[in-house]
Structure 1
Amino acid sequence: MAQIFKPSADTFARLVLAGSLLLLIGVVLLGPVAARSGYQSKVGWVVDQPVPFSHKHHVAGLGIDCRFCHATVESSAHAGFPSTHVCMTCHSQIWTGSPMLAPVRQSLASGKPLIWNRVSKLPDFVFFNHKIHINRGVACTRCHGRVDQMPLLTRAHPFEMRFCLDCHRDPAGRLGPTDQVTRMSSLPWDEATHRRFALAAARRYHLDPARLDKCDICHR
């Protein structure tokens, strides 16, 4: 009787089974790590922009307040992007011939707005209101990090559900004076002083962690 399979077929089948088992184990063990990796969370990744805008130069070097460019952050759910006219407030006087700023000049001449690419983008099913957070004393650095140290803007934190819940479950720990929300460096307070202020602010704004933990706060 003719032999259908070669003797090596048994060895090959065992190798395939062993490889499949190892692959399954690898997915189970490494899957959660990959899900929280920088590649997935986009933390530290630079996003291409029409103009390579340096927050480090403009914020730390020139002392420009966040609200100069993000003008609606105190009055709207969205912080807003700088319009061409905001950019040209300065650049009609300085660096007027810079090749780097050619897209800004072209935008002004054509009337076609610059399209900035969002770095701190949340999923479409998540609602976030900048106005509420800013007017409660949540500093910009809480979510965006030290942008004054970023030559090119990157995401500072993984905007995962637990990142938001950590804050909502202890809102008092994240509150500061509303007139200091755009401050980049830490407040000149010790931890106990900051905690007392934050707890008083949480009571004043009627912030209830039990309510802030509800799904419909962010998912509407």
Structure 2
Amino acid sequence: MLVFLALCGGGLFATGFARSGYLTRQGWPVDQPVPFSHKHHVGDLGLDCRYCHADVERGRYAGLPASHVCMTCHSQLWTGAAILAPVRASFAQDKPLAWTRVSALPGYVYFDHHIHISRGVACVECHGRVDRMPLAWRAKPFQMRFCIGCHRDPAPRLRPPDQVTRMDWSAWDRDPANRGYGRRAMAAFHIQPAKLTDCDTCHR
């Protein structure tokens, strides 16, 4: 009986640990060489995600901001701020900043930003409300069950591809004219959930 209870307890602990924020890092702010605030840049100033993540519409990787992108503004604003010293040094030395990836996936997972963006999966679906994040953190667990859940039922997560960087979709979702958009998008883009859940879609 004790062995049975121990096995059950161990199984419950392992399951809980596997889904815990400690393992997934969900909700944990990530240290960066510069404490970049998405809340300020996206939420307050209204910068579009693509300004810094310039490759998101054309490749697997969204890309991380190059120092010259930061210096577009910061050659004029906060030019002597100590907090921006790493950006100025990176720009002067022509050496990229060593950003820490917040949403890194394991090497055995194939993910292509371009295909998701072009079909209308909004940034907020995976990255959360970055416009409310003073420091970036992982908004979703990025475990297999998260990806499979979307692949099995993509319709509720599809939006107009030309608006994918929008953060607040509440008004859009309430508009009766937009009801059924996801199903229409699936038909237009020939999205077939049965194929999306094939193992080789994400493991190649």
Cα distance in 2 between the residues matched to 1:188 and 1:55: 23
**TM-score normalised by L of structure 1:** 0.87
> Which letter does structure 1 place at the counterpart of 2:92?
A
1:97 to 55, 73, 80: 80
Spell out the pairing of 1:63-74 with structure 2 (5 A cutoff): 63-74=46-57
Give the 4+ runs in structure 1 shifted more than 2 A.
18-26, 187-195
The answer as to whether partners of 2:27 and 2:137 remain within 8 angstroms in 1 is yes
Other-structure match for 2:168: 185
Cα distance in 2 between the residues matched to 1:195 and 1:122: 33
How many Å apart are 1:23 and its aligned residue?
A: 5.6
- Structure 1 unpaired stretches of 5+: 1-17
How many Å apart are 1:34 and its aligned residue?
A: 1.1
Cα distance in 1 between the residues matched to 2:2 and 2:109: 40
Spell out the pairing of 1:1-220 with structure 2 (5 A cutoff): 24-186=7-169, 187-190=171-174, 193-220=177-204
How many Å apart are 1:174 and its aligned residue?
A: 1.1
- Structure 2 unpaired stretches of 5+: none
Cα distance in 1 between the residues matched to 2:146 and 2:175: 21
Equivalences, count: 203
> Which letter does structure 1 place at the counterpart of 2:60?
A
Query: Which range moves more in the overlay, 109-118 or 140-149?
Result: 109-118
Superposed CA RMSD in Å reads 1.8
Work out the percentage of aligned pairs sharing the same amino acid: 59
The answer as to whether partners of 1:176 and 1:194 remain within 8 angstroms in 2 is no
Cα distance in 2 between the residues matched to 1:195 and 1:131: 25
